Structure 1
Amino acid sequence: MQAFAPLEAGDPARIGPYRIVGRLGSGGMGRVYLARSPGGRATAVKVVHDELAEDPSFRTRFRREVAAARRVTGPFTASLVDADPDAEAPWLATAHVPGLSLGAAVARHGAWPERSVRALGSGLAEALEAIHRAGVVHRDLKPSNVLLAPDGPRVIDFGISVAADDTKLTATGAVVGSPGYLPPEQLIGRQVGPAGDVFALGALMVYAATGTSAFGGGHAHGVSYRVVHEDPDLSGLPGELADVAGRCLAKDPLRRPRVPELVAELGRWEGADGARGTFGGAAWLPQPVADDVMALRTDPLPEEAGGATAGADLPTVGPAHTDVATARLGGPPGRPSSAARPGEWIRQRRTAVLAAAGTFVVLAVVAGLLLPRAFSGSSRGSGGGSGGSSAGPAAVAKQLTVREQWPSDEDLWHPVVAGGKVVGEGQDGLLHAVDTGSGDTAWTYDDPTASSLEGVGDGLVVASSDERGTIQGISLDSGKRVWSVGAQAHTAPGTTFNLYLRIVVADGTVYVNALYDLPEGSKPFGRYAVSALDAATGRLKWTRPVEYGLSDALTVVDGALYGGMWEKDGSYFYALDADTGDQRWRYRTQDRYGAEVTAIKVSGDTVYAGDSRGGLHAVDARRGTRLWTYRPDVQSGKWLEPLLVTDGVILGGTGENDSTPSPGDVHAVAAGSGKPLWTTHTEGEPELQGLLDGSVLFSTEAGTLHAVDARTGKSPAETRLSPDDPDAAVVGDRVYFDGGDGRLHAGRISLTEK
C-alpha cells in the first residue's frame, strides 16, 4: 500500500530546504507534497495556491496562523516544523504521518466497533485541547483531516482554514468548510469558538460508528439545513456513545460539553489487547484498518524527484480485474467534491496550469509545457512498473486518447450539452452557451440573479436565483428570457421558500423538487413539495406536498415522474403521473428515515434506483414491485448519478458523500438478476460519462478519464484530462471538460487496441 502518489510534470523539485519526492493530496488552500528534510526526515509540505498568495490579506492572516500553529504541541496533532509565509508561493511543513485518513478507512472497511470509536474520540479530544490551548480554532475538522496512526489519530490542518477568512474565498459571504461537520452557528453566520470543534468531533464519532453522516447525505444545502433544524441520526450508536455524541451535536454551543470533560469521559476505553486507554501497536483500530495502517508504516520513502520531466508520460496505474473481484485505479487524490454551486458553497478556484500551443494539439497539463502524450492513456501494471496488467489472457490492451478540438474562452462549471451548445455557469457569475463545433461563445445571459443552472431540455434552459427562488426559462437558441416565475407560484400556504433540490425539464414541463420553511417553532422544521410548471409559460400545473423529505434525484420517462421521499416509518421510491401528480405506486427502499434515493435509471419496463445506504433496487416500472436488490461488498456509501444500462448490464458508481473527498467504486450488475459482474475501485469518486465501443467511460476527481470493458471490467485504459476534477461531459466520442486552466476544452475520444 502506498501513502503517496507519484510526482507529475510541473511539480517542484524543491520547496525551501525540502526535496519533493511525492504527492500527498490537494485542497482549497494548496497542494501537499511528501518531502525529505535536509536531515532525511519525512515531511509534509503544503504550498499555497497562486491566487491566494497574490492576496495581501491572505498573507497577513497566513503569517498570523503560522505563528499560532507553531504553538500547537500535542501527541495527537501533526506539529508544524517549518514555514515561509513570505515566499513567492507561501508554504509550511509539518511532520509527515504515514497514516490512512478516517474518510478512506471508513469508506474501505465500514463502521467501527464502539471501543475504536471511543478511542478515536479520546485522541481527537486531546488534540483539540492542545489546539485550543494555543488560541486556535480548527473550524474544518472532518474525516479527511484526521489521519490514523498505530499510536493514535492525528489532526491536521489546524488553524489553516481560519487563514482563508476575510480573503477573496469568503468575500461573497459563503461558508468555508464541510457540510455535516460545520456547527449550526457557523452555517448561520454567527461567531464560532472551540464549541464548534466539539460539534465536529461529535459528527466524526457518528461517522466512524455508522459509516454515514449524522445528518444524512445529498445536496450540501440539504445537509446544512438538517444540521441547523433537525436532530442527528444516532440510531446506529450504542447508548453511552449516542449520549456523548448527542451532547456534542447540541444546536446550542453552550450546551455542548467542554473539551477537558470529553478527554476525561472518552479516555476510559479499552483496546483489543486489553490495555485501557493506551494507544500502541494499532490495537485501538478495527483489525482491517490496523492492517492497512501498519502496511503504510512500512512504505519506503522514495528517492528524489526525477521522473516529472517534459515529454514523459503522466503516471498512471492500471487495474487488475477479475469477475466479482476488486481492483484499484491509481492517480493522485482528488480535490473536494464540487457538488456545491457558486453563491451557495465555495467553488475551489484553480491555478492556471495549462498552456496552449498551435491548433489540434494534445493538451499539456502544466504551464508552459507541451506533453505530446499527456492524453494518451496506458494500462500499466500496479504502480506503473513492469508487472503488467493481470486482466488475464483474454483482455485486450487498449489505448485511450483525447485529442483537442478547441479551447474556449469560457470556463463553464457543470457543463450540459444540448442542441449544439454547451451550457454552464461561468466564473463571472453568469450563464454562458458555447458552440460545440467551434468553441465560440453563442450567448451570455446577463442576469446575475439567475446564475444557477438547473436543467436543459425541450430547447429551454432553466436557471434559478440563489436568493429569491425565482425560476427563469431561457431560450437555448438565443439566450433570451422566455419567462420568469417567482417561488410563490409553487410555495405551499403557510410556508416560505428555502431551496431547490432538483429541477428537470421534459415533455413540455419543468418538474421541481423544493424545500420550504415553516414558521419558527414548528415541528417538523420544514416541508417539501414536488411541482410541475408549464415549460412555455412557467405557470403552475400541479403541486404535491411531502411532509418529511424529498431526495434530489428526479427522472421523467414515458409520462411517469420517478423520485425519492422519506417519512417517519422509512424511505421510499415513488412514481407519479407526470401530467397530474397522482401517485402510481410507492416502493419502500429502507426501513430507516433519511435513506434517500440518489440515482435513477429507467430501461424498458424496469426502473433502477440507487440509494444513500448502498442499495441498488430494480423495480417493475408499471407496478412498483421489487425485482431484485443488490448491495455491493464495499463500504463506499451512496450510488452516484448517472446509472447506465447496456446489453443487459447496469453500470453505476458509488462514493462516500458530497462533502468529503474519498475513494469510490464502479460496479457492473446483471440487469435481469442483480448478480454482480465486476467492481473496480477508484481513488476519487467516479462519474460515469457514457459508453464507447463496448467500454464504459468514467472520470474521477483526480482529473483522469478511464475506460474499461462494460461486460467484463477488463481492458483498462486511462488518460489525463486535468490536474483536478475535469468537470466533464461526454456525448458520443466528444468530451467537454475543464482542463484546469480556467477554460472549457473539447476533445475527440478514441479507444483503440494497442
Structure 2
Amino acid sequence: MQVFTPLEAGDPERVGPYRIVGRLGSGGMGRVYLARSPGGRATAVKVVHEELAEDAAFRRRFGREVAAARRVTGPFTAPLVDADPHADVPWLATAHVPGYPLGSAVAAHGAWPERSVRALGAGLAEALEAIHRVDVVHRDLKPSNVLLASDGPRVIDFGISMAADDTKLTRTGAMVGSPGYLPPEQLVGREVGPAGDVFALGALLVFAATGTGPFGGGHAHGVNYRVVHEQPGLEGLPDGLADIVARCLAKDPLLRPGVPELVGELGRWEGDEGTGGTFTPAAWLPAPVAADVGALGAAPLPDEAPTAPADPDLPTVTLGPAPTAVATAPLGAAPTRPSLAARLRGTARRRRTAVLASAGTLVVLAVVAALLLPDALSGSSGRGDGDGGTGSPTAAAKKLAASEQWSSDADLWRPVVADGKVVGVGNDGPLQAVDPGSGEPVWTYDDPSASSLEGVSDGLVIASGSENGTIQGIDLKRGKRVWSVPAKAHTAAGTTWNLYKRVVVADGTVYVNAMYDLPEDSERYGTYAVSAVDAATGRLKWTRTIEHILSDALAVVDGVVYGGVRESDGSYLYALDADTGDQLWRYRASASRNYSGEATAITVSDGTVYFGDSRSVLHAVDARRGTKLWTSEPDLDGVEEWLEPLMVVDGVVYGGTGDPTSDYGSGAVHGVAADSGRLLWTVSTEREPELHGPLDGSMLFSTRAGTLHAVDARTGGSPAETRLSTDDPDAAVAGGRVYFDGGDGRLHAGRISLTGG
C-alpha cells in the first residue's frame, strides 16, 4: 500500500531544494508532491496553482500566512519546514505524514465506534489549539485534510485558505472550502474566526461516527443551503457525543464552545480497558483502519521519481491496442425495434441536457454566499408560515435584473462554469474556455471529435464526439488533451456504436449511457450499455450490457448509479454499484406496455431518489432499498415530461416540465413537498424552463423564450423576470452571475440582483 502515485508529464523535477519523487494529491489551492530534502528526509511540497500565483493580493496574504504557519507547533499538526512565497510559482513544504486520509478510511471501512471518534476529536481539537495560538484560522478543515497516523491524527493544509480569500479565484465565483464543513457565517460572507474551525470539527466528528456529514450530500448549493438554514442530522450519535457536536454546529459562532473547552471534554476519552486513552494504533483506531495505517507506515518511499508506465489496456485514438475484456451482465430480454422518431427524440433531449448532471464536480448551479438569505444567522430556520407550509424561504423579490458585466466574441453552447473558467462548445465547432471575470479567451481546443461538452471533473474537461464516439479528457487549465478513449472500448462484439444518450462525470469517473446498432439481419434494432471510465486515465473500469431501451436520465450519487430503462412490460428505475456495475435494486415505475413512462430527470437527496418521467409523474424511492415512498402528478393540460435538473432545497422538490414533442411548447415549474409528494404550487411558463437554484428566498429559472425568472420558493408567487435574449439563452448561473447566449452571436455575463418588496 502506498500513499503516492507516479509523476506525470509536466510535473516538476525539483521545487526549491526538494527533489520531487511522486504525487500525493491536489486541491483547490495547488498540487501536492512527495519530495526528498537535500538530506534525504521525506517532505510534502505544495505548489500553488498558477492562476493564484498571478494574483498580487494572494501573494501578499500567502506570505503573511506562511510566516504565521511557521510558528505552529504541536503533536497533531504537520509542521511547516520551508516555503518560498516569492517564487514564480509559490510553494511550501511540510513534514511528510504517511497517513491515511480520514475520508478514505471512512469510505473503505465505515463508521467509527465512539471511542475512536472521541480520540479523533481530542487530537483535532489539540491541533486547532496549536493553530489558533499563533492567530491562524484553518478555514478548510475537512476529511481529506485530516491524515490518520499510528500515533494520532494530523491536520494539514493550514494557512493557505485564508491567503486565497478575496483573490481573483473567489471573485470569479469559487468558494474557498468544502460543502458541509464551511460554517454558515462563511457562506453568507461574514468574517470567519476560530469558531468556524470548531464548526468544521463538529461536522468531521459526525462524518466519522455515521459515515456521512451532518447536512447530507448532493449538489453543493443544496448542502450549503442546509448548513445555513437547517439543523444538523445527529441521529445515531451517542448522547454524550451528540451534545458536544450540537454545540460545535451552532449557527451562531458565539454559541460554539472554545477549542480549550473541547480539548478538555474530548481529551477524556478512554481505551477499551476503561483506562485513559493513549494514541497507539490499537487504542485509538478501528482495527481495519489501524491495519491500513500500519501498511502505509511500512511502505517504502521511492528514491527516484517514478513515472507512470505505458498501459497496454488503455485505449486511445492514436495509440495502443483495444482494452481487455470486461464482464457484462444483461438486465433483461430484448425489446422490439424502437421507432426512428424515438431515436431522434432521444438524441435531441440528450443534446439539451448532457452537461447538467456532473454530480457535484461542476458547480454550475451553485448559488452561495450572496445568494443565501441575509438573516441566516438570526436563529430562524427560514421557514415560512404561509399556506404553502413547505419550509422554504420567504421571498422578498420584486425586481430581477442581470446587469451586463461583459460580452465576448465566443458564443458558447451550454456554457459550464468550473474552476475559474467558462467552458462550452462554440457555434462554429471548437471547444473553448473564457475567463469568467472578463470574457477574454483562455484556450481553444479545435478537435472535431470533441463536439459535445459532457462535464468537468478534477481539472479535466470531458468531451465526446457525435460522429465516432470518442471520449476525451482535456486539461481545464491549458486546453490540452490528457487522454482519449474510442467508443470501441465499451462496444460489445457484433455491435456498432450509435450514440451517447447521456454522459455524467462524478467522483473521478465518467459514466456513459450508450446505444449500439446490431447487424442488419437482427430481429432487434439495437442494444444498450452503461459504462464507467476512469476520469484521470481514461481506463475502462466496467461495462454493463442492457438489452432494453435506456432512458436519457442518469445520476451518480454516493457510489450508486441511477438510471432508467424501458422494457416490454413497463419502465423501471435501476441502481448499480458505481465501482462494479452490479445491480443493487430495480423499481417498477410504470406498467405500461408501449414503452412509455421512461425516467427523464433524476436527483438524490437525504437517502431518497426523486425522479420524473415522460408521463409527468414524479416519484420518490428509498435510495437504499428501492421501495416506493410516493408519487405525484401535476394537473397538466397535456402529456409533459419532467426536465433536468430536479432540485431538493429545504424540504421541497423543485422541477420543470415541458412538451417533449415541441421545441416551442409551453412548460411549467413546480414545487412539491419532499416528504409527501403534495403539490405545493405550479407556475406556467411560456416556453420550456430550466432551473438554476435558490436566490434570496426565490427559485431562479430561465426559459427557452430568453427570459430569466424568479418566483417565491414557498408559494410560487411574487414573480419577477428580466430579458436575456430573443431565444433560448443557454444560461448557466454561478457566483452571482448568469452567463448566456444573447442571441447576437456573443456570450454575455450579467451580475444578478433581486431587489424590492
TM-score, normalised to structure 1, is 0.48
